Structure 1
Amino acid sequence: MKISVCIPVYNFDVRELVYDLKREIASHSIDAEIILIDDASDEGFKQINNELNNQVSQFILLEKNIGRSRIRNLFLKHTKGDYLLFLDCDVKIDNTDFLKNYLQEITQNREVDVIYGNFKIDSSYSKTLRNRYSVEREIFSGDKTSDFSVFKTVNFIIQRETFQKFLFDETLIHYGYEDFVFAKKMELNDVKFSALNNPVIHVDDTSNEVFLAKTETAMNSLFQLSQNAENEKYIKDIKVFSVAKKMKNLGFIKLFVVLYERFIKKMILKNLLSENPKIKYLDIYKLALLLKIMK
């Protein structure tokens, strides 16, 4: 059984990640390849990662940025593995048996098609809005679960044949919800899923300002999805979307937006940009963004 480790790279130094993976592959004699695809990073990061050219099976440099969905689908063209292990480039390995743990889970649960490994937060950035959101809403607790809703693209392994059937939606070029739709498609088609605590450490130093900008992009992506009726079954359970849709049906959008802009927007932004941001305020911020697009 061969594993292809697939790492989409964008403006990040992936040398430590690659060398840690290579060390485990060698020490346990694992049948694995490492494939890097750089999504048109800045020249400085290309130079930093250039030393990996002879350290991995393939290092592909794209001339133009193709986005989070399309680049993941592209790995099918360049990999040979029976299983594809996807890792975000901004992670670190937390366990010297990281790959071995995945292999053990695959061996013990042959019927499982997709395994999600979870993630931790680098303590250096634990107080930022981005990472507080991860801790409160994204990282699952416990040892195992079969709940597809915990799935994130940061760290997962999938059977090649399964991935070929359920590709990422390439119409989602920008940030937001590509992982949710990908997981929902598989869940609705009864793909066998398991999540276990085999985490990587997510090194995300995104500032509160940048995360709010990404949140706005994500709301635009969600609205884009909603314009295609076929996507309704994938996004209907997203809380901000379901609330926004109810408010639109009740004719409350204009009133909410006016009240938000006049009375609470300034207070919410002040908190979200502070050193002690509250996730409940982020919920209101997201709702206001989506409603303004929908009106």
Structure 2
Amino acid sequence: MLLSICIPVYNFDVRGLVSDLKKEIGTNGIDAEIILIDDASLGNYKKTNQVLQNEVKNFIFLEENIGRSRIRNLFQKYAEGEYLLFLDCDGKITDKNFLKKYTEFIQKDQETKVIYGGRSVLRHAPGPEYYLRWKFAIERENLPLGLRLSKPYLSFQTNNFIIKREVFEKIHFNPDFQKYGYEDLLFAMDLKSEKIKINHIDNPILNNDLETNTIYLEKVAESVESLTKMLRDKSLKPKLSEVKLVRLYNKLFFKSFIELFLADKTLYALKSKLLKGNDNLYYLDLYKLGLLIKDMKE
């Protein structure tokens, strides 16, 4: 069984990740190929990663950035494996049997279509400037296997998953959404609508890129913009009904409450509080809700 390891690259040094993968491929005798597609990274990152061109099966450099969804779809053109393993470029392998755990699961269950392995971050808290993204990962993303199994579609993320080629040929990431945010959830809900099971196993990859509170809140705003666009599409809106932020938004009935959040000073106050990093994620939920209300109003 050939496994195609697909890594979209954007402004990150992937030499360590590729080295770790190649080491396990050799040590555990994994039948695998590695494919990299660079989504128009800055020149210094391209130069750094170019040394990998002779180390992997394919390394494609795009001239223009095509976004998170389209670049993942593009791997189908180059991958030859029966299964495709997608990894984020900022991930770090922490288990010497990382690939083996996936292949053994597939060998035991020949009906496997999709597997999500999970994610982790460093257990030690970073400085306050980086704390918000880390706290969100610890409390909301790095869920134990039991919790992920209870909500297999809502718990799915694209940082570390395997999909059978024949499934990916039918169900792609929606190319209309190029920016950061909710493209993974929409993909999961497309799988759900087709009654394709998402298996979950305990095989996390470490998120190896610390984001400042400022950068993370910029990504939060971008993700809410993407969600707004999805909600305005009548064919997509029903698929998002289980999303926590959407459920909160749909429960709003009081005009005064909505107008409070539409006030720029309210959003500014919440953002200022969040930039300090060490705060309850309740305020992040309120900030996202305020952004969504504002975006939906425009």
Q: What band does the TM-score fall into relative to the shorter chain?
A: over 0.9
Whether 1:189 and 2:194 are equivalent positions in the alignment is yes
Distance 1:71 1:262, change over 3 A: closer
For these two proteins, the number of residue pairs brought into alignment is 292
Distance 1:263 1:49, change over 3 A: closer
**Separation in 2, partners of 1:271, 1:278:** 10
Deviation at 1:257, TM superposition (A): 3.4
1:145 is matched with which residue? 149
**Separation in 1, partners of 2:7, 2:27:** 21
Cα pair 2:270 2:283 within 8 Å, conserved: yes
Distance 1:290 1:107, change over 3 A: same
**Separation in 2, partners of 1:22, 1:150:** 29
**Separation in 2, partners of 1:86, 1:142:** 19
2:263 is matched with which residue? 261
> Helix, strand or coil for the counterpart of 1:40?
coil
- CA offset digits 1:153-186 (Å, max 9, x no partner): 0000110001111100000011110000000110
**Separation in 1, partners of 2:124, 2:12:** 17
For structure 1, the 5+ residue unaligned runs are none
1:200 is matched with which residue? 205
Q: What does residue range 71-90 of structure 1 map to in structure 2 within 5 Å?
A: 71-90=71-90
Cα pair 2:35 2:59 within 8 Å, conserved: yes
2:291 is matched with which residue? 289
Structure 1 length-normalised TM: 0.94
Cα pair 2:98 2:203 within 8 Å, conserved: yes
**Code of the aligned partner of 2:71:** I
Cα pair 1:131 1:204 within 8 Å, conserved: no
1:108 is matched with which residue? 108
Deviation at 1:203, TM superposition (A): 1.3
Structure 2 length-normalised TM: 0.93
Equivalent position to 2:242, from 233, 237, 241: 237
**Code of the aligned partner of 1:139:** N
Deviation at 1:238, TM superposition (A): 1.2
Cα pair 2:261 2:290 within 8 Å, conserved: no
> Helix, strand or coil for the counterpart of 1:271?
helix
Distance 1:267 1:163, change over 3 A: same
Cα pair 2:145 2:200 within 8 Å, conserved: no
Cα pair 1:125 1:205 within 8 Å, conserved: no
**Separation in 2, partners of 1:154, 1:53:** 23
1:91 is matched with which residue? 91
**Code of the aligned partner of 2:149:** T
Equivalent position to 1:134, from 129, 137, 144: 137
> Helix, strand or coil for the counterpart of 1:115?
strand
**Code of the aligned partner of 1:292:** K
Deviation at 1:269, TM superposition (A): 2.3
Cα pair 1:116 1:157 within 8 Å, conserved: yes
> Helix, strand or coil for the counterpart of 1:13?
coil
> Helix, strand or coil for the counterpart of 1:128?
helix
* Alignment RMSD: 1.8
**Separation in 1, partners of 2:264, 2:29:** 63
Deviation at 1:123, TM superposition (A): 4.5
**Code of the aligned partner of 1:137:** R
Whether 1:227 and 2:232 are equivalent positions in the alignment is yes
Distance 1:104 1:259, change over 3 A: closer
2:37 is matched with which residue? 37
Distance 1:73 1:54, change over 3 A: same
Distance 1:259 1:245, change over 3 A: closer
- Give identity over the alignment, percent: 42
Deviation at 1:10, TM superposition (A): 0.1
Deviation at 1:260, TM superposition (A): 6.5
**Separation in 2, partners of 1:192, 1:21:** 27
Indicate the larger mover: 218-227 or 145-154: 145-154
> Helix, strand or coil for the counterpart of 2:206?
strand
Whether 1:155 and 2:160 are equivalent positions in the alignment is yes
**Separation in 1, partners of 2:123, 2:191:** 33
Cα pair 1:69 1:172 within 8 Å, conserved: yes
> Helix, strand or coil for the counterpart of 1:150?
coil
The 4+ residue runs of structure 1 with deviation greater than 6 A are none
Indicate the larger mover: 142-151 or 200-209: 142-151
**Separation in 1, partners of 2:142, 2:225:** 24
Deviation at 1:137, TM superposition (A): 1.2
Deviation at 1:109, TM superposition (A): 1.6
